[in-house]
A = this chain, B = another copy of it.
Amino acid sequence: MKIEVFFSPAGVDELNMRGRNVVIIDVLRASTTICTALRNGAREIIPVPDIENATKISANLSSDSRLLGGERQGKRIDGFDLGNSPLEYTPERVHNKTIIFTTTNGAGAMYKCRYAALALVGTFVNVSSIVKMIKEVGGTWTILCSGRQGAFSVEDATCAGMIISSVQQTIDVETDDAGMTAVILYRNYKRSILGMLKKAEHGKYLASIGFDEDLKFCAEVDSVPVIPVSDGVALRLKPSPAELREKSSKQISD
């Protein structure tokens, strides 16, 4: 199979991503927060690139079923219910809610993938689930790293490398210069993902504004084993095989 990697969404637009199978990575923190929110019972996440549109969409939804979440400069946006720390997205806060979600890098990258054939959200906390799905679907995949303000970020690239490296354990993977580099990065940092996050520019910034605990959470490989899948507007959990079986049996008995 083939996996190509974009190290940042700069120069990538909706049309580039149209019809592709894509994994969008924003380790610190949008991807991790989305996985956590969905695992904790959020109904769906709607990624929106800008605050103005997030607020507009939110105003059109019933106030008891929606939350506004996201950050600018890593901090909760004024008037929003939640920031971008996965630790805030507890079952108590998010159960059954639609979360309108805007962040500096990840939400914009996800928005650019709204015409993808299949768009998943990946990060360290759900990496094996993503790898399993890539292998099941096969074919050609694109990994879009959210990066940092249009530039490269080492944590997203390392996570891309972990995905490719894991797929390569059982399947031949053709990749590009960015994919080769991502694998080299992953091999370099695999003994300490947390150490890498602490060295990363954005990791250092988050620690400096008090989010050290987030780095630990974001470094926990496979701790939130879910697959957020986009329908072009919202991200929802991929139903588990058990849920699919239950649905299927209900249909038969109806």
Where the two chains meet, the residues of A that have a C-beta atom closer than 8 Å to any C-beta of B are: 5-8, 10-11, 148, 150-155, 157, 176-178, 180-181, 184-185, 188, 199-202
What are 24 A-B contacts with C-beta separation under 8 Å? A5-B152, A6-B151, A7-B151, A7-B152, A8-B10, A8-B11, A11-B11, A11-B150, A11-B151, A151-B177, A152-B177, A152-B178, A153-B177, A154-B177, A154-B180, A154-B181, A157-B181, A176-B201, A177-B200, A177-B201, A180-B199, A181-B181, A181-B185, A184-B185
How far, in Å, is A149 (CB) from chain B's closest CB?
A: 9
Chain B residues closer than 8 Å to A11, beta-carbon distance:
8, 10-11, 150-151
Most chain B beta carbons < 10 A, residue from A10, A153, A176, A177: A177
Instruction: Give bound CA distance, A150 to B8, whole Å.
Output: 11
Residue on B nearest A157 in the bound complex, by CB: B181
Given A11-B150, A11-B151: A188 in contact with B178 (beta carbons within 8 A):
no
Chain B residues closer than 8 Å to A155, beta-carbon distance:
177
Instruction: Give bound CA distance, A157 to B177, whole Å.
Output: 10
How far, in Å, is A140 (CB) from chain B's closest CB?
A: 16
Instruction: Give bound CA distance, A151 to B4, whole Å.
Output: 11
Residue on B nearest A147 in the bound complex, by CB: B177
Residue on B nearest A148 in the bound complex, by CB: B177
Instruction: Give bound CA distance, A178 to B185, whole Å.
Output: 11
Instruction: Give bound CA distance, A8 to B150, whole Å.
Output: 11
Instruction: Give bound CA distance, A153 to B151, whole Å.
Output: 14
Chain B residues closer than 8 Å to A200, beta-carbon distance:
177
B177:A188 contact, CB within 8 angstroms: no
Chain B residues closer than 8 Å to A184, beta-carbon distance:
184-185, 188
How far, in Å, is A177 (CB) from chain B's closest CB?
A: 4
Residue on B nearest A178 in the bound complex, by CB: B152
Chain B residues closer than 8 Å to A5, beta-carbon distance:
152
How far, in Å, is A22 (CB) from chain B's closest CB?
A: 16
Instruction: Give bound CA distance, A151 to B6, whole Å.
Output: 7
Instruction: Give bound CA distance, A59 to B10, whole Å.
Output: 36
Chain B residues closer than 8 Å to A176, beta-carbon distance:
201
